[in-house]
Amino acid sequence: MTDALATPAERTSRTRYLPWITTPALVLLLVLVWHYYTVISGISAFILPSPLKVWQVWVGMLYSPRAWSHTLTTIASTLLGFFFGMLVGVGLGLVIGRIRWLEVTLNPFIVATQVVPKVALIPLFVVWFGFGMTPKVLVAAVLSFFPILTNTVLGVKSVESGHRDVMTSINATRLQTFLQLDLRNALPYIITGMEVGVVLAIIGTIVGEYLGGSAGLGYMLVSEMNSYQTDGLFAVIIHMTILGFVFYFATGLLRRFMIPWHQSAHA
């Protein structure tokens, strides 16, 4: 009985805290290798700046209002694009997961939005919507909706037939079955799709800023490159990486609150 009542969290408590030690250790190792390589090889700082220099530039960025304004622009476009990607991904996924003919009809077009080189669409979006926020939001949405959609469809389709029998036998309406069964069953899948989708949304936004515009971290990257500030380039990349982590883990936190019953919430 005690074993049956042990939560997965208790069983995996040892591996759970392992990353808190291994991650800093590995990062430290990487930085040390990087540092000594730049010292020993005498490589030009223009090709590979030392980690210390990159660190100084990045800390400098944190005190620069200009850098923060670019960061906020990127965050805003990412969140907005991700929001629309989710709206379409979850909405469409819930519908075509239940209606087979609609899925068959729409599938070629959904796949088409993914196999077309999306980056190639950006100039077109710029032509249509200018250099403002809209094309970035659009790219972020187009990139992020697909994993959310496919996972939502999978979630709806993986409802156990026995669970449907229960809803039928207790006289549930179609709407009740949809809300209490299909949607709730799909939730862990949707969150998985969101984790992938939010990372793609950042990439979409940054590539959009990179190719056309005058604001955001992608734009900052280009301007550092154009002024031959390799250390600045590195600092922006690190900045973006941290931003990506924040978004990813924030999405992962949803597991704890929205699906506390699911295995994955305790991993």
Partner 1 sequence: MSFASSVETPVAATAGAAPIIKLSGVSKWYGTRDKPVHALAETDLDIAPGELVVLLGPSGCGKTTLLRMIGGLLDPTQGRIDISGMELWKNGERQGNAVANLGMVFQDANLFPWLTIEENVALPLKLRGVAKAERQARARELMDLVKITGFERRWPKELSGGMRQRAAIARALSYGPNILLMDEPFGALDAMTRDSMNVELQRIWQETGKTIIVVTHSISEAVFLADRIVLLSPRPGRIDSIHPVPFPRPRGLDVQTSAEFQSLVKTLRHRLAEVE
Q: Could you report how far apart the first and last alpha carbons of the chain are, in Å?
A: 23
Residue 90 interacting with partner 1 (CB under 8 A): no
**Which of 100, 266, 109 lies closest to 188, judged by CA?**
266
- Name the burial class of residue 248, with classes exposed (0-12), middle (13-18) and buried (19+) by CB atoms within 10 angstroms of its CB: middle
Answer for which of 160, 174, 246, 250 binds partner 1 (CB under 8 A) is: 160
The interface with partner 1 within residues 37-66 (CB under 8 A) comprises none
Query: Angle, to 10 degrees, between the axis of helix 134-157 and the axis of helix 121-129?
Result: 120
Cβ proximity of 239 and 61 under 8 Å: yes
Select the span of 60-68, 110-118, 136-144, 167-175 touching partner 1 (CB under 8 A).
Answer: 167-175
Give the residue carrying structure tokens 């090709």.
47
The interface with partner 1 within residues 221-250 (CB under 8 A) comprises none
Residue 154 interacting with partner 1 (CB under 8 A): no
Cβ closer to partner 1: 51 or 193? 193
Site map 171..210 versus partner 1, x via CB under 8 A: xxx--x---xx--xx-x-----------------------
Residue 102, both tokens: 């609609």
User: Which residues bind to partner 1, rule: CB under 8 A?
Assistant: 1, 4-5, 7, 160, 162-163, 165-166, 168-173, 176, 180-181, 184-185, 187, 259, 261-262
